[in-house]
Structure 1
Amino acid sequence: MTDGTIITLISVGVTIFFMLGVPVFLVIGWWVVGMSFVLDLPLLNVGAALSDVFTDGFALLAMPLFILTGDLINRSGIARRLSDFAYACLGWIRGGLSMAALGACGLFAAISGSNSATTATIGSMLHPEMVKGGYDERFSAATAAAGGTVGIIIPPSIIFIVYGFLLNLPISDLFVAGIIPGTLMVLAMMAAAFLLSWKNGWGVLIGLSFGRMVKTGIGAWLGFFAIGLVLWGIYTGKFSPTEAAGVTVGFCIIVGFLCLPLYKIMGRNEERPIEQRSYSEMLVVQGFSPIELPSITMRSAQITGILAPLIAVSVVMQQILSVLGAQELIGNFVTSMGGYYAVLFTAMAIVFVCGMVLESLPVTIILAPILAPIAHEVGVEPVQFAVIFLVGASIGFITPPYGLNLYVASGVTGVPYFRLLPYTVPYLVALISVWIIVALVPELSTALLPNR
């Protein structure tokens, strides 16, 4: 049996395992080990590569810290205050609660940097409210799934950290470059939610109240401070993304510990309607006790334990693909397309198709080192291509058959996966429209970068 036949059998085998629901880490790991035997590569190389990722990747330290930040702001009640503010601003418009859910996703993403955390948090909080407000439960769940896509675009972003680590780009520049595209994604999805809600008459309107907006804005001040702290520190260069993650975690822990006793003294004000709370009560969030911190940290560690090994084994996969000539094959295909726009849109098509069947992490680790240099050769600015690449990868979160956010939303709302799919179409149209605009207008990605 020839090596080519064995490679084909191994690849088909792990593909079947993936389709049967075997975790991606194990699928890639089995493929890497099998390829190592076929190509006579020492297994020591696998262990060395895994070790190098964790010992030399200082930038990757930001990943578990931002994951922990998302859990802390959710448990402390800051996420709930951000969603209350978004609803106060948009609840008077037809479809306002769905638009508020998307706005809350954007605000939560600006602290957590995770798509799944954004979908799970906002979905679990606002899905019941939307159903009670007259929205179709399938649309409500699809809204949470779509809103989570901005979790990896609006800074800070876990996947931007990985991309910068792989391509040796300043992570702070990538963070800043994601601000405008991420905002456009939220606005486009809001427009889709408004049109669909207006067409179906969904949603119970609340009166436009400047007082409610001010009160909920005061209630969300800790969230705004955390967002501002991260963006200010990274944009001004006061601290690196990794240091920003550490500072944000420290801030959230201090807030959680200090607010809990005040929250109890004030009579657990979160249980009363906003109109019945005083302005002083709105200043204090629910918080959490030191006893709860280990369980919160453990949950974040579990997510990190899934992502970090996947990054490491995907790096080895990338090396083996290089030995097999796959990177050169893809590179030659994309290069053969011709000029600037042909190469750019071919690369986007590849990212979109791969995003339909793979999570953004392996898509980034495998394809970014192949496509980014080719795009640079035809004149695409590296930071702009990073944004284009990752906006495309984020769309994969609501694109079947994989659609990670759809599974997350289904899990937290109880709406079956396949029942969500029709209601993702308007959001897909909105996101793809923004993706094309971002690709055609480089200034949307580079305008806010320092020294530009």
Structure 2
Amino acid sequence: MSAALSPELVALILFGSLLVMFLMKVPIAFSLILSSVLVLQLTGIGLEMVPKRLFTSCDSFSFMAVPFFILAGSLMSQGGISERLCTFINSIFGRFPGGLGIVAIVACAFFAAISGSGAATTAAIGAMMIPEMVRHGYDKDFSAATSASGGCIGTIIPPSIPFVTYGVLTGCSVSTLFMAGFLPGILMAVCLCGAVVYVSKKKGYRDTYKASGREIWTSFKRALLAILMPVIVLGGIYAGFFTPTEAAVVAVVYGFIVGVFIYRNIDGKLLVKILRDGAVSTAQIMILICAATLFGYVLTANRIPDMVATAILSLSSNKYVILLLINILLLIVGAFMDTTAALIILVPILYPIVTSVGVNPIHFAMIICVNLAVGQVTPPFGCNLFVACGTAGIGLEAISKKVVPFIIALIVCVLLVTYIEPISLILPQLLGAQM
């Protein structure tokens, strides 16, 4: 490696070139690769290691869970699961102020336990709930913002693709991360429901639907197989019957049987489309993982994480101040970068800092993942916003105004998760998980 370039100059070149390519609208994965190659050339590291890093970054048994959870989510979505979930939840919450908005959030929380993806959750629930909310007098912009915000829960309530990524990067138990994600995910749902109620009272949104006990029981029976899926998958993980990766395969088999043979919503033509879409989604995520891993290698090889750690610790050695600074950084990065790419780039930088001041690695996983989940609904590049806009047929500017109360609610959730450690750790501790 050339000694002519200091870590500060390398960081300037690396992030400067990355910013230029973002402004030129070069796809994130290719921006990461090109900026990495530029720095490797300037620092004298041979480019023969680039393909090796790109391919070996995905050589992980845990990463095999990603395509299977994506496929399971598609099977359950196309197989009629989301419709049955929404009907059951509406029978319970439809009578409250902003009832259909609450239904959308709670349905996202349920579907999150199937998909593991924020965009998939937004698409599955938004397709059902946005037209229904509009039909009952809700603004289309608000309806879309509600579904997009609820989709954030998809990356927190297990199974969660970001948790798998974090576990691979740090060596933390993915099963323990799944346990820890429940309470932060539920807290996100509660905060978002609070935002729905606040806006609904202000705008006068009120639903008149009051289901009878018989209707609730009937809708529960129709949704029972959907409710059982996370119980089977996560229960099998925690009971030790299978690993998270094996659980993803179980989820696919379960979704296939339910969608094809029980509900019979999936025929051969639709199955081909589901497989094709799953392959495309997997390819998009995995190329991001490859590119971000190469970028992370360049950061580490040039001691940039050490430089950042020194800079942050020079500002304060207080754990709570450092966590506040990290939260601000994560909220900014999350608004401009995909969650998976941000994790692979930032975890190697921030992980040594937080562990040096006594932050539990499992707790930090919840902090970083909840922060980056907020980025999914933060303009200008929040991926859930684009999904909801496409579903509702509206522009980004319209939904950006309506999503502000939800972002505020999610930031409150971020602060609670950051500074109240038991929210993240009490469930794994009670279950005797590996910490």
- The 2-side partners of 1:432 and 1:202 are apart by 24
Q: TM-score normalized by structure 1?
A: 0.90
> Structure 1 residues 9 and 446 mapped into 2: Cα distance closer, same or farther (>3 Å)?
closer
Q: Distance in 1 between matches of 2:95 and 2:25?
A: 43
Kindly indicate whether the alpha-carbon contact (under 8 Å) linking 2:14 and 2:36 is maintained by their aligned counterparts in 1.
no
Residue 271 of structure 2 is aligned with which of 277, 293, 299? 293
Per-residue displacement from partner, 1:267-302 (whole Å, max 9, x unpaired)?
A: xxxxxxxxxxxxxxxxxx343124432221110110
Please tell me the root mean square deviation across aligned C-alpha atoms, in Å. 1.7
Deviation at 1:203, TM superposition (A): 4.0
| Equivalent runs, 1:276-355 vs 2, <5 Å | 285-336=263-314, 337-355=316-334
Cα distance in 2, alignment partners of residues 196 and 417 from structure 1: 20
Contact (CA 8 Å) 1:7, 1:35: kept in 2 or not? no
Map of 2:246 onto structure 1: 243
Aligned to 1:388: 367
Match of 2:329, as an amino acid? I
1:419 aligned onto 2:398:
yes
Q: Is the 8 A contact 1:135 1:203 kept in 2?
A: no
| Residue of structure 2 in register with 1:42 after alignment | 46
- 2:376 paired residue number: 397
Q: Which of the numbers 29, 34, 37 marks the counterpart of 1:33?
A: 37
C-alpha change, 1:133 and 1:29, in structure 2 (3 Å) is: same
- 1:128 maps to a residue whose letter is P
* Corresponding residue for residue 16 of structure 1: 20
Per the TM alignment, residue 234 of structure 1 is displaced from its structure 2 partner at its CA by: 1.6
Give the 3 Å change call, closer, same or farther, for CA 258–208 of structure 1 in structure 2: closer
1:451 matched to which residue of 2?
432
More divergent stretch after superposition (381-390 vs 399-408): 399-408
1:208, CA displacement in angstroms? 3.8
CA distance in 2, matches of 1:295, 1:240: 28
Aligned to 2:418: 439
Which shifted more, 185-194 or 195-204?
A: 195-204
Alignment of 1:364 with 2:343, yes or no, is yes
Q: Does 2:150 match 1:172?
A: no
Give the partner amino acid of 1:155.
P
Equivalent residue letter for 1:406 = L
Partner AA of 1:166 in structure 2: L
Conserved 8 A contact 1:181-1:438: yes
CA contact (8 A) 2:142 2:399 kept: yes
| Matched-pair contact (CA < 8 Å) for 2:118–2:151 | yes
Give 5+ residue unaligned stretches, structure 1.
260-284
Structure 1 residues 7 and 396: CA distance shift in structure 2, 3 A: closer
Shift of 1:408: 1.4
User: Match of 2:258?
Assistant: 255
Contact 1:25 1:313 in 2 (8 A): yes
Q: 1:235-266: CA deviations, max 9, x gaps?
A: 2222111000000101111122212xxxxxxx
Deviation at 1:356, TM superposition (A): 1.9
In terms of mean alpha carbon deviation, does 222-231 or 156-165 score higher?
A: 222-231
Aligned residues: 425
Output the amino acid matched with 2:339: S
* Aligned equivalents of 2:23, 2:89: Cα separation in 1: 39
Go from structure 1 to structure 2 and tell me whether the alpha carbon gap of 1:6 and 1:92 turns closer, same or farther (over 3 Å shift): closer
Amino acid at match of 1:23: P
Q: Which shifted more, 97-106 or 377-386?
A: 377-386
Is residue 110 of structure 2 the alignment partner of residue 98 of structure 1?
A: no
Report the TM-score, using the length of structure 2 for normalisation: 0.94
Q: Which runs of 5 or more residues in structure 2 are unaligned?
A: none
